[in-house]
Chains A and B, each alone.
Chain A
Amino acid sequence: FHTLFMLQVENVKLLDRYTNRKAANGTLYLTATHLIYVDASAEVRKETWILHHHIATVEKLPLTTAGYPLLIHCKNFHVAHFVIGQERDCHEVYTSLLKLSQPVKPEELYAFSYNPKMSKENREIGWKLIDLKVDYQRMGIPNNYWEITDVNKDYEVCNTYPPEIVVPRAANKAVVVGSSRFRSRGRIPVLSYLYKGNNAAICRCSQPLSGFSARCLEDEQMLQAIREANPGSPFMYVVDTRPKLNAMANRAAGKGYENEDNYDNIRFKFIGIENIHVMRNSLQKLLEVCEMKSPSMSDFLTGLENSGWLRHIKAVMDAGVFLAKAVKDEKASVLVHCSDGWDRTAQVCSLASLLLDPFYRTFKGFMVLIEKEWIAMGHKFSHRCGHLDGDPKEVSPVFTQFVECVWQLMQQFPCTFEFNERFLLEIHDHVYSCQFGNFLGTCHKEREDLKICEKTHSLWPFLLQKKQELRNPLYRGFTAYKELQPNTLPFSFQFWCGMYNRFDKGMHPKQCVLDHLLSCMSQKMKLEDNASELENKLPFLDGPLPSEACSLSKVGRAASKTPMLNTPQDYEGEPPPVLSNGTSAGDIDVTSDVDQKYKENLSHHRDLHDLNDAIDVLDSEAKDGKPQHH
């Protein structure tokens, strides 16, 4: 290690659901940015890295015979159960982690000290990678009906919107300003996505300050302008993504929803997605289910249902599907809002865009989508993800749900995304890691004030560099699929083991198809490169080329070997091997010491197998976040 340690503690065990108390002793290190656990007991050294920013809670558990337990829950659902030999050490680690995991000021966040070896120019280029104007151009904007206005360039209209927003050309400044006075937090209706095929648009805003009977001429004109920007449809939808009861309750507070009588030619619809508090509690219950030790099938299914988690995922998906259908099939524009238009609205608009437009299913497109619908449009990442020590009631897995909806779509349409599950997990990790500046703060203005573009790095070039690992080998290309129509029956929503039990390696399929296919692809590319290289040489030479011919066939042989790489061939030729995955074949009727003995064998060999395995096993945070000495 080249880094300075703030703390180093010996005699620490790391338990998981498969090890018994005979886990090996290791060393725990705390740096300014990470917790690092090193187990050097086996032949091969194993490291577990946890970023402080990822830590959600640290608890001291009751004393056991093995020592003083410390339970760490992370925001990316990693659960680390340490047992520390000395009480003083345990307490010191505990208090240090509490402080390190709850920064108070934005400047304390990792992004401001993260310093990869990169030139200033490259860092700036990184920030310019995603240009939202280019995406609007792709949609054909500006055009006769829509324009990019700078009326918000000094955040006068709405301080949580970006300086450049897209509004109907027919909406002049008076209409925009008037409407902003009638919308919660000034979040006026703006364009999210324009479907070129028929001019139907998805627009978004916040709830109107209508109370029981208030009206606003400019707001009504704004909606009219949106509707008339789509001459192909006589009406437009206004969708409130809240449950009807919640929306009605808001009226008592002077807010509420659009009255169909006051707005010409709108069809109003509630699509009930629950609020951030319900979602926070739902996730909490889900995680409790995931942490159960050796649950029965019944315990698991019942727990999963009681959490309501998949029900909420379906609700978000249903809303996205409704929007996409309205635009594509009914050719009608849709205006979406929730309360403040930065949670459910963001989920639903970005999902609908994904369903409608294959561009957003590419690497670049997905980055654009997140930059546009989440970052630019003011989703409060800092609050929702608990970046700083703040109000726990503001924390909610809104972005997590969106990412899961994308994953659910990947399950139904395996060939339709350019990227794979790991890409989603990396983005999700970094939303919480604060290693990059993209997700800091709550809105564009705040990021400007924090000087993110000058002082931090962008996530996107970092991810694009790893494209080879993050791509989907089954991607059939941009034109293979147009609009997606997912099945939304209950059984279509699967439990995402790779996210919520990500670090329980034993639960996942034992052989990684993804790695194998990625390897096939890269082999294929190498072969093609070799082949074209050789082809280029041919015209210049007389007669056969024995040496080159040999090297080609060598490559061929290597390629035929690669299919073996991902099966546990490591043990080939050795006597009856131990595959370090095991059954929890425990049974209530009769305890068998066969089971117990097996579990002992398991813990002994587990690390060796893990390390021989591919990328999956090693804590990916480690590889990203290794800080420079400073």
Chain B
Amino acid sequence: MLRSSQPLMGPNRKRCREDEVLLGTVLDEGERGFIIDTRSAQAAKQARMTGGGTEPKSSYPQWRRLHRPLERGRPLQESFIKLVEACNDPLINMDRWLSRLESCRWLSHVKAALSTACLAAQCMDREEASVLVHGAEGTDTTLLVTALAQVILDPSCRTLAGFQGLLEREWIEAGHPFHLRCARSAYSHARLKQEAPLFLLFLDCVWQLSRQFPFSLEFGERLLLTLFDNAYASAYGTFLCNNVKERRVGQEESTHSLWAWLNQPGEKKKYLNPLYSHNALVIWPSVEPQSIQLWQGLFFRWIRSSQYLDEAWAEIQRLVEGN
């Protein structure tokens, strides 16, 4: 699985031999690859006007292009804000709750993200084909797809250590601009242009996987909530800045690593899933609407007590450890 940003085709349909050779070397003679473009065909075409574009079939003959538009940027942030508003509305009427949930479209985005990640995974697992994922910049929906696909495909990404490694690789080092994307969150009136909850969307999708495959992730909801918190405001340097280059300037000397803290034996056990049992298989989620739920542990975290659910998890722990 490869990721990149969009090819700079431009209105004049520029070609780049080196890029074509690079992608050519990935595939053997006669092999086929898939390009998953996270923009709609329309948007990808329009991108040419501003210097971007897509890979034309003629120049990349072994690659088949698939478009799976995923929401990003302002619209995604609006979706997030609307959802949080609906969840917090004390006067929310039963007659309107579901339509408000529907109109914010957050769950549609979850479904689309999972579907696209599954598509990438299918290409690799079923078709045994290589996959190139990109959107426009390669820093948002691209990472969402590649990271999620790995959780689906690779059991080692589902371990606590492996998941941390995945985050380092596919989000932090890959250059997701955390500083810009996770600036003020849903309550702020600032409405910053560069703010968008892609990372939260990723965590939500991982939560959906944990619900559908309760034995297959070594970590539990608590880890996901902690990651969400730290992406926005953190005592640690792990999610600071926008990319490796910016971070290099003093990160290791001046800050502490979130992973170092999480992995201490005393801390670590709080994040483990008591039901975890290594699953060597690919985990294929259902993306039917009935299978996708609103992540109550996050969106109602401060609204409704988790006491009874916590007691249930304590019982589960007790039962599982009893043996």
Which chain A residues have a beta carbon within 8 Å of chain B's beta carbons?
290, 294-302, 304-305, 310-311, 314, 412-416, 473-474, 476, 487, 489-495, 497, 501, 504, 506-511, 513, 516-517, 520-521, 523-524, 527, 559-560, 562-564, 566-568, 571-572, 576-577, 579, 581-585, 587, 589-590, 592, 594-595, 597-598, 601
Contacts and interface: CB of A to CB of B under 8 A. Distances in A.
Contacts of A571: 280-281
A300 B119 CA distance: 22
Contact of A415 (B94, B114, B315): B315
Given A413-B308, A491-B300, A516-B275, A581 B125 contact: no
Contacts of A504: 288, 290
A474 B323 contact: no
Nearest to B126: A598
B123 interface: yes
Contacts of A562: 323
B118 interface: yes
B247 interface: no
B261 interface: no
Interface in B198-216: 211-216
B312 A492 contact: no
Nearest to A513: B214
A506 B215 CA distance: 17
Nearest to B319: A520
Nearest to B211: A509
B94 A511 contact: no
Contacts of A584: 115, 286-288
Nearest to A297: B108
Given A501-B290, A524-B322, A583-B115, A590 B300 contact: no
A581 B300 contact: no
Contacts of B95: 305, 311
Contact of A527 (B116, B284, B323): B323
Nearest to A414: B312
Interface in B247-303: 275, 277, 279-294, 296, 300, 303
B98 A474 contact: no
Interface in B228-246: none
A571 B66 CA distance: 31
A583 B285 contact: yes
Contact of A579 (B284, B308, B316, B320): B284
A560 B94 CA distance: 46
B184 interface: no
Contacts of A560: 323
Given A415-B308, A490-B92, A517 B319 contact: yes
A301 B94 contact: no
B65 to A, nearest CB: 8
Nearest to A302: B102
B108 A298 contact: yes
A257 B287 CA distance: 49
B93 A297 contact: no
Contacts of A592: 66, 119
A594 B304 contact: no
Given A296-B108, A507-B290, A517 B126 contact: no
A532 to B, nearest CB: 16
Given A473-B319, A509-B213, A589-B66, 9 more contacts: A301-B289, A412-B308, A497-B291, A507-B288, A513-B215, A564-B277, A568-B279, A568-B281, A583-B122
A487 to B, nearest CB: 6
B287 A474 contact: no
Contact of B289 (A295, A579, A582): A295
B100 to A, nearest CB: 9
Interface residues of B, number: 69
B283 A510 contact: yes
Interface in B101-144: 101-102, 105, 107-108, 111, 114-116, 118-119, 122-123, 125-127
Given A507-B291, A527-B323, A305 B99 contact: yes
A294 B92 CA distance: 29
Nearest to B315: A474
Ranked nearest first, the 4 interchain pairs of A and B with the lowest CB-CB distance are A300-B289, A490-B97, A305-B98, A414-B312
B74 interface: no
B190 interface: no
Given A474-B316, A579-B281, A583-B285, A301 B213 contact: no
B290 A497 contact: yes
B308 to A, nearest CB: 5
Nearest to A560: B323
Contacts of B296: 491
Most buried by B among A416, A524, A582: A582
A415 B215 CA distance: 20
29 contacts: A295-B289, A297-B105, A298-B102, A302-B99, A310-B94, A414-B311, A414-B315, A474-B315, A490-B93, A490-B97, A501-B290, A504-B288, A506-B286, A507-B290, A508-B286, A509-B214, A510-B213, A511-B214, A516-B215, A517-B316, A560-B323, A567-B279, A568-B281, A571-B281, A576-B125, A581-B284, A585-B116, A585-B122, A589-B68
Given A559-B323, A577-B281, A301 B101 contact: yes
Contact of B87 (A416, A473, A491, A510): A491
